[in-house]
Amino acid sequence: MLAALAACGSDPVDGDESSAGTGGSANSTTGASGTTGASSTTGVGGAGTGGSPGTSVGSTTSTGDATTVGSGGAPGTGGAGAGGSETFCDLPTTFKWKSGQPVISPKAPAGRTFASVKDPTIVFFEDKYHVFATVFDTTSGNGGWQSVYLNFTDFPQAPAAEQHYMAGWPTGSTVAPQVFYFRPHNKWYLIYQWNGRYSTNDDINNMNGWSRPQSLLRGEPGGMGSTLGALDFWNICDDDYCYLFFSRDDGKLYRSKVSIEDFPKFDGYEVVMTAPTNGLLFEASNVYKVDGSNKYLLLVEAFDNSPRFFRSWTSESLDGPWAPLADTKNNPFAGPANVTYEGGDWSDDISHGELIRSGHDEKMTISACNMRFLYQGRDPSVGGEYGRLPYRLGLLTLQE
What are the domain boundaries of the chain?
A: 32-398
Across the chain, what does the average pLDDT equal?
82
Q: Which of 22-26, 147-151, 220-224, 322-326 has the lowest mean pLDDT?
A: 22-26
Which residues touch 118 (CB under 8 Å, ≥6 apart)? Answer: 1, 133, 134, 135, 351, 352, 376, 391, 393
DSSP character string of 91-117: PPSS--EEE-S-SB---PPTT--EEEE
C-alpha pair distances (Å), 300 with each of 64, 150, 158, 189, 285: 25, 25, 26, 22, 4
Buried b / exposed e over 262-284, threshold 16 CB at 10 Å, is ebbebeebeebbbbbbbbbbbbb
Position 171 scores a pLDDT of: 62
Whole-model pTM: value is: 0.81
Amino acid at 235: N
Q: How confident is the model at residue 85 (pLDDT cuts 50, 70, 90)?
A: low
How far the first Cα of the chain sits from its last, in Å, is 29
Q: How confident is the model at residue 142 (pLDDT cuts 50, 70, 90)?
A: low
pLDDT tens figures, 30-53: 333 333 333 433 333 333 333 333
Mean pLDDT of 150-173: 88
Position 278 scores a pLDDT of: 81
The runs of H, that is alpha helices, within the chain are none
Per 3-state DSSP, the chain is made up of helix, strand and coil in percentages (nearest 5) of 5, 40, 55
pLDDT higher at 59 or 318? 318
Position 166 scores a pLDDT of: 87
Position 314 scores a pLDDT of: 98
Q: Which of 132-136, 224-228, 354-358 has the lowest mean pLDDT?
A: 224-228
Question: Measuring CA to CA, which residue among 51, 35, 21, 42 is closest to residue 289?
Answer: 51
> For 32-398, CATH number?
2.115.10.20
Position 195 scores a pLDDT of: 86
Distance CA 116, CA 84 (A): 42
H or E stretch at 186? none
Position 52 scores a pLDDT of: 34
Position 60 scores a pLDDT of: 33
Question: Measuring CA to CA, which residue among 171, 77, 158 is closest to residue 120?
Answer: 158
Q: How confident is the model at residue 372 (pLDDT cuts 50, 70, 90)?
A: very high
pLDDT higher at 52 or 340? 340
- Percent of the chain having pLDDT more than 90? 67
Position 172 scores a pLDDT of: 66
Mean pLDDT of 190-201: 94
Q: Which of 129-138, 160-169, 336-345 has the lowest mean pLDDT?
A: 160-169
C-alpha pair distances (Å), 115 with each of 13, 55, 137, 187, 386: 14, 37, 6, 33, 10
Structural contact between residues 248 and 255, judged by C-beta atoms closer than 8 angstroms: no
Say yes or no to pLDDT of 317 above 90: yes
Which residues touch 371 (CB under 8 Å, ≥6 apart)? Answer: 355, 356, 397, 398
- The top-scoring range by mean pLDDT among 198-202, 204-208, 379-383 is 198-202
In this structure, is the dihedral angle defined by the CA atoms of residues 229, 235, 236 and 237, taken in order, positive or negative? positive
State the DSSP code for 211. P
